[in-house]
Structure 1
Amino acid sequence: MNYAIGIDIGGTKTAIGLVDQNGSVRVKTSLPTDQTITPEIMVDRMADTIKNMLVGEGLNESDVLGIGVGAPGPLNTKEGKIAEPPNLPSWWNFPVVNSLARHFSAPIRLENDATAAALAEKWLGAAKEAEHFVFITISTGIGAGIYSHGKLITGATGNAGDVGHFVVDPAAGTCVCGQKGCWEYVASGTAVARQASALLGREVSSKEAFDLAAAGDPMIGPLVQKIFQYIGIGCVTLINTFDPEKLVIGGGVSQVGAPLFDAVKAYVSKHALNPSGRKTPIVPAALHQDAGLIGAAALIHIPY
């Protein structure tokens, strides 16, 4: 059996797992992404965790085909660096691939986490049969992985798919990137919580906001419908740009389920430019809890 190590670096935790050639997670764990220490020390902790994981499973490094790393962008995958992700300020310009290579001789590949998740959905999830699809993750922010003509579209430096910074509503306010009204500024889980909290005058999570809307709250209900419309606008932009045969939506906000998907499909059916685009299937992601790990490992297991 051949194995890959998957590392999914997030702003608050880093998931690490051993994934076999069939996509099964043999063992996994997670570490806090401690931004009070240097990234080098954090990588040392990751390496120790991987080595202990291999010993615990009775494996050697020679049993590992490689290490795949998914991380939030912007990245520079050509140089193996984490560039300037807003939620990892202490990691800016950090050469994560070279740092890991201090500990391992196996090949190491770095890609945007949404790009890696798209590859996982192609391998094992909701896009197995698709040769042209876009995977969209809507959670703290919004990102995408683009798969077209049978391969991942990663761009010159690995940052294709930063769709959260499409401008959707310039009147809505200033995004962290400095533009006005970016898609993730108006439609991410963070955006839902921010706008609902402002309406109610208290702290509201995105989950609570969606629950209130489902219960018929007269203030939050219209907000959530506007959020669904914003998500539809972004989906129409992706359909018009890439002509996919399918959109796959994952991330925490996708857990809202039918109300979200029904609203987005209705918007797309009216506003996508191409008649065939108006019928684009829009489906939930199949991989949830371990998507990041499997996606990172897929960078090793699956040609892309």
Structure 2
Amino acid sequence: MSYAIGVDIGGTKIAIAIVDKSGKLLEQEVIPTDVDILPENMIHRINESISTIIDHAGIALKEIDGIGIGSPGPLDSKSGIITCPPNLKNWIDVPIVKEIGTYFGLPVTLENDANAAAVAEKWLGAAKECVDFAYVTISTGIGAGFYVDGKLLSGSRGNAGDIGHAVVDPSYGQCSCGQYGCLEYIASGTAIARRGSKIKGKELTTKQIFSLFHEGDEHITTYIHDVFQKIGVACVSIINTLDPEKIVIGGGVSKVGDPLFQAVTDYVRQNALNPAGRRTPVVPATLDQNAGVIGAAALCYNI
């Protein structure tokens, strides 16, 4: 039996797991992302965690095919470098593939985290039967992974699918990237917490804001429905551009459930250009929070 290590790097936590060729997680560990320490120190913690789960699983290093890493972009997947992710403020031109590969003596692959999650949904999840589909993750940030003609669309450096910085409504103000009205600035979990707190005049989490939405709070409900519409705008742009069979939405914000999927589906049915495109299914991801780490491991299996 052979195995792969998946590493899913996020702005608040890093998931690390051993995954076999059937997609089963054998061992998993989650460590907090400390953005206040040097990236090399954080990578040292990742290496220690990988070593720990290998020991716990009782697997020999020679049984591991490789290590796959899913990271927020921008990055350069071909050079193995994380270049400048907005949610990892100190991670500038970090040669993560070299640092982890040298430590373990194993092949290491780097991919955008949304692309890695798309690989997982293609392998085991909601897009198993699809040749052309889009996976959209809406969490701390927003990104997407695209399959076109059965192949992952990565771009020249691995940054294809960064739809979080597509402009959907400039009236919302200036995003950290410098543009006005980016989707991520409006509809990410971070954005919902920020604007919802402003609406209510007190500090609230995204989860608390969605609780107010489910309770029918008038001002929050109006705002969240506008968020759903902006996600619908993004989905229509994907449909008009790439003509996918299906759009799969994952990430923490997708846990709000049916209200999101119904609103986005309604918007697509009304506004996609092609009548056939208006029937594009918009569905929840099925691998939940494990999509990133499973997809990262799957990079080693050439799924």
Q: TM-score range by the shorter chain?
A: over 0.9
Query: Which secondary structure does the structure 1 equivalent of 2:179 belong to?
Result: coil
Contact preservation (8 Å) 2:251, 2:289:
no
Separation in 2 of the partners of 1:12 and 1:223? 25
Q: Which residue of 1 aligns with 2:12?
A: 12
Unaligned runs of 5+ in 2: none
Structure 2 letter corresponding to 1:199: I
Q: Which residue of 2 aligns with 1:244?
A: 244
Separation in 1 of the partners of 2:281 and 2:261? 10
Matched, 1:97 2:97: yes
Separation in 1 of the partners of 2:246 and 2:103? 40
Structure 1 letter corresponding to 2:89: P
Q: Which residue of 2 aligns with 1:298?
A: 298
Separation in 1 of the partners of 2:194 and 2:89? 22
Q: Which residue of 1 aligns with 2:125?
A: 125
Separation in 2 of the partners of 1:223 and 1:53? 43
Q: Which residue of 2 aligns with 1:141?
A: 141
Query: Which secondary structure does the structure 2 equivalent of 1:214 belong to?
Result: helix
Unaligned runs of 5+ in 1: none
Q: Which residue of 1 aligns with 2:216?
A: 216
Separation in 2 of the partners of 1:66 and 1:4? 5
Q: Which residue of 2 aligns with 1:159?
A: 159
Q: Which residue of 2 aligns with 1:71?
A: 71
Query: Which secondary structure does the structure 1 equivalent of 2:6 belong to?
Result: strand
Instruction: Indicate how the Cα distance of structure 1 residues 207 and 49 shifts in structure 2: closer, same or farther if over 3 A, else same.
Output: closer
Separation in 2 of the partners of 1:100 and 1:191? 33
Aligned residue pair count: 303
Structure 1 letter corresponding to 2:17: G
Instruction: Indicate how the Cα distance of structure 1 residues 52 and 252 shifts in structure 2: closer, same or farther if over 3 A, else same.
Output: closer
Matched, 1:176 2:176: yes
Instruction: Indicate how the Cα distance of structure 1 residues 200 and 34 shifts in structure 2: closer, same or farther if over 3 A, else same.
Output: closer
Matched, 1:196 2:206: no
Structure 1 letter corresponding to 2:36: T
Separation in 1 of the partners of 2:85 and 2:57? 34
Separation in 2 of the partners of 1:33 and 1:199? 29
With the length of structure 2 as denominator, give the TM-score of the two structures: 0.97
Structure 2 letter corresponding to 1:283: V
How far does residue 28 in structure 1 lie from its aligned partner after superposition? 0.7
Instruction: Indicate how the Cα distance of structure 1 residues 233 and 107 shifts in structure 2: closer, same or farther if over 3 A, else same.
Output: same
Q: Which residue of 2 aligns with 1:110?
A: 110
Query: Which secondary structure does the structure 2 equivalent of 1:156 belong to?
Result: coil
Query: Which secondary structure does the structure 2 equivalent of 1:103 belong to?
Result: helix
How far does residue 233 in structure 1 lie from its aligned partner after superposition? 0.5
Q: Which residue of 1 aligns with 2:51?
A: 51
CA deviation profile, 1:256-278 (whole Å, cap 9, x unmatched)? 11111001100000000011110
